[in-house]
Amino acid sequence: MKKSERVEIILKDLKRLYPSPPIPLNHKNAFTLLVAVVLSAQSTDKKVNELTRDLFKVADTPIKMVQLGIPRIYEYIKQLGLSNQKSKNIYNLSKLIIEKFQNQVPNTFEELESLPGVGHKTASVVMSQVFDIPSFPVDTHIHRLSQRWGLTNGDNVKQTEKDLKKLFPISEWNTLHLQIIFYGREYCTARGCDGTKCLMCKTLYPERKKKFICKKP
């Protein structure tokens, strides 16, 4: 099967399964989504949503977050991995948004990535989901499935993102990255599928018999 044929199948099947995928991280506005994405690094969305429920009740703007202060931010998120550094990053990015960006979450990659704790993936999520600017955030789920489905042979998320952008129409990027994430969590999990078990893997590679070894990002 040609790569172009696999792309068509992926688009069709994911649209059928997830016609309107929601943003997995709960948020109230651009700022709270930014904070939630920063907190999600090396943590599950489920846990982040549990903890931000209370955090966002008291601090859903940069000003309120700065007023909260690092020690109190930490108390809300201390169950997350890297909570000490995340507390500092959340405080400092809030302060920078107030001082440099007139209390508004910036809407360019360069400006977003200048904020503490904000890498390219985090910036891509905000750009796509808040500002509706075509982006293709690549997390571990997308990196894993892209390899299993023969869309990339890159050994890092940067290369995977580049390859996916070449294969899929730009109009699909913002929705597609969510669709792949949901499929990866529900059907093509890291341990539940080895490239031969889920319906998509079997459809794309019907002759594959051996376990597919993914390159870790």
Residues annotated as part of the active site = 121, 139
Among candidate residues 71, 77, 72, the one with its CA nearest the CA of residue 38 = 77
Look up residue 103 and give its amino acid: N
CA neighbours closer than 13 Å in the CB half-sphere of residue 58: 13
**Which tokens is 113 given?**
């990535």
Buried b (16+ CB within 10 A) or exposed e, 61-95: bbeebbebeeeebbebbeebeebeebbebbbebbb
